[in-house]
Chain A
Amino acid sequence: MKEKVQVSGGTGLSAKDVSSGKIFVTDDSLDCAYAWDTGVAVNRYLAELKNGRIIATECRKCKRIMLPPRLFCELCYVPSNNWVYVQDTGVINTFSICHVHWDASRIGEGEKPHLPAVIEIDGASEGMGIMHLLNEVEPDQIKIGMKVKAVWKPEAERTGSINDIKYFKPIE
């Protein structure tokens, strides 16, 4: 069978090609600064995190209790300004044991892996999860379906951020 696959270009370089000075590079590091407006719904979410509470919004039409809270229900497309507090406990929907940092560098010797998880928060509608971190648990003990509870920063250290919850830990 004749091959007519058309491939051209894509000249691979080795690390040596660059380090030996055979290949020139132009370096630049980007300097961009942003200050994002959090808006009505997320602003209140952050304010309540600072208070040590998790707040959600309920859609009056479909009755979903939604996290993170939102000004409108994206499915019914109506305003959802009915605020309800939910628990700071939940169930692990899924998790990972991550050995790389955000920038792809590997975690060091003796350093604990990151333990991200999707946690379905009690009091919100079924399946309403948020992404957060786990701790106070051996990685090999984590199971999908495990009950967890938020561990909050001390009140004085909270800033109105998702990091006001330090992490979630298993509970019985």
Chain B
Amino acid sequence: MRKVAMVGAGMTKFVRRALETPKELSYEAAKTTLDSCGLSLDDVDCVAHGTAPDAFDGIHQNGEYMACGSGGWNKPTMRVFVGGATGVHAIAHGWYHVASGLFDTCLVVCEEKMSSAMPHAQGFFLTIFDSITERPLQPNLLWIFALEMNRYMERYGYTKEDMALAAVNNKRNGLKHPASQFTDEVTVDDVVNSEMMAYPVSRLDVSPVSDGAAAVLLAAEPVARRLTDKPVWIEGVGWTLDTAYWATRDLSYPRYLDKAARMAYDMAGIREPHKQIDIAEPYDPFDYKALHHLEGLQLSPRGKTVELLRDGHFAMDGNMPMCPSGGLLGVGNPIAAAGTMKACELFWQLRGEAGERQVPGNPRLGVAQAWGDLMQVSSVVVAGI
């Protein structure tokens, strides 16, 4: 198989409401990425693009609209879409552009501008539910996460304090990320006592809707070696979609991620992920999700994750640092861009370029993951140096 590497990465700040338009955000992330590896748009063979629901922007065929911002003018440009899992899936989408032999370089750009949706982006999530059997109940997006979180906690006897530990961990890491929109540390009490939105979900259990963009440049092996002495190889990719009948599934375990992770590990030749992986960026739009996903990623035994978290296993200096970037809870959650931000983090961490939040011990293998839809899809990228 043709080897593919990340050779450049860049992103915008993740902010509550950005001055920039979606195109301008895409441009900033794409241009910064090109600059990071000394390339110009002429060196880009194709563009792989990702953004989540068109309803946020109120723009139909949003991928077409954004094409010029992502550098896709007069180029093969293709937008891929798996809901919240788009940001990491777009890396896999870019990977097969290059691994297929059709292209030598691919610019992956993911963007989300959620602040355009009025009065609140959450309202547009009503339209993700089954239009006939669920939408008439007027569901809020939080419902399904609250339902999943409750089931997960019930299964293992976890408390809200247990879940809050993940938020505290990630938000603390995020304070060191230059793109983060946060400035203050939070405590378990802060999280547990924050406004109750949809029991068991409190406001600080949730990452904030944000505007932002992130990008990486992928290159085939010979090109990658020419461009940098530290290419970050895409060792494996995986993605899986479960049934749309979400209420018929065991919500306490993300089996869609189990399969996606195994697909990526198989490709990467990884047999013991919990021993071989050095850093993990599980998708964390909600604090419980980070833990839920560590289990699906086979990085933590089911039901033992809180114990390991309390023991410091997932801390920056632990055996398996979780979300060194700060994740969505610590940096912000512009949906598709947030997943790509996690891939950017692997790029910087594995090259030893993450500055004050650098994970110690020269990490060599990392995994990034995103998740979405009706709690049914996961995408996974394993990267190594």
Contact between chain A and chain B defined by CB under 8 Å: yes
Chain A interface residues toward B at CB < 8 A: 1-14, 17-18, 23, 28, 30, 34, 36, 38, 42, 45-46, 66-68, 74, 93-105, 114, 116-118, 127-133, 139, 144, 161-163
Q: Judging by beta carbons under 8 Å apart, are B122 and A103 in contact?
A: yes
Which 10 A-B residue pairings sit nearest by Cβ, starting from the closest? A3-B355, A9-B28, A10-B13, A10-B12, A96-B146, A12-B15, A103-B123, A4-B353, A104-B122, A97-B199
Q: Judging by beta carbons under 8 Å apart, are B247 and A131 in contact?
A: yes
A77 CB → nearest B CB, Å: 13
Q: Return chain B residues, CB-CB under 8 Å to A133.
A: 137
Asked if B304 CB lies within 8 Å of chain A CBs, one says no
Within the assembled complex, what's the spacing in Å between the Cα atoms of A67 and B249? 12
Q: Judging by beta carbons under 8 Å apart, are B12 and A8 in contact?
A: yes
26 contacts between A and B (CB under 8 A): A1-B353, A5-B179, A5-B353, A9-B13, A10-B14, A11-B20, A30-B58, A38-B132, A42-B132, A66-B245, A68-B133, A95-B150, A96-B150, A96-B201, A98-B199, A99-B197, A99-B198, A102-B126, A103-B122, A104-B122, A116-B146, A127-B249, A129-B247, A131-B134, A132-B137, A162-B133
Over the window 168-209 of chain B, the binary record of Cβ atoms lying under 8 Å from chain A Cβ atoms (1 yes, 0 no) is: 000000000111010000000000000111111100000000
Q: Judging by beta carbons under 8 Å apart, are A13 and B19 in contact?
A: yes
Q: Size range of the interface on B?
A: 35 or more
Q: Judging by beta carbons under 8 Å apart, are B35 and A6 in contact?
A: yes
Within the assembled complex, what's the spacing in Å between the Cα atoms of A104 and B195? 13
Asked if B382 CB lies within 8 Å of chain A CBs, one says no
Q: Return chain A residues, CB-CB under 8 Å to B354.
A: 1, 3, 5
Within the assembled complex, what's the spacing in Å between the Cα atoms of A102 and B122? 8
Q: Judging by beta carbons under 8 Å apart, are A162 and B140 in contact?
A: no
Within the assembled complex, what's the spacing in Å between the Cα atoms of A5 and B1? 30
Asked if B17 CB lies within 8 Å of chain A CBs, one says yes
Chain B's closest residue to A159 (CB) is B136
Interface residues of B in 121-150 (CB under 8 A from A): 121-123, 126, 131-134, 136-140, 142-143, 146-148, 150
Interface residues of B in 345-367 (CB under 8 A from A): 348, 351-356, 358
On whether A12 and B17 interact (CB within 8 A), knowing A1-B355, A7-B10, A7-B12, the answer reads yes
For A9, give its contact among B12, B139, B181 (CB under 8 Å). Answer: B12
On whether A10 and B20 interact (CB within 8 A), knowing A5-B178, A144-B150, the answer reads yes
Within the assembled complex, what's the spacing in Å between the Cα atoms of A121 and B10? 49
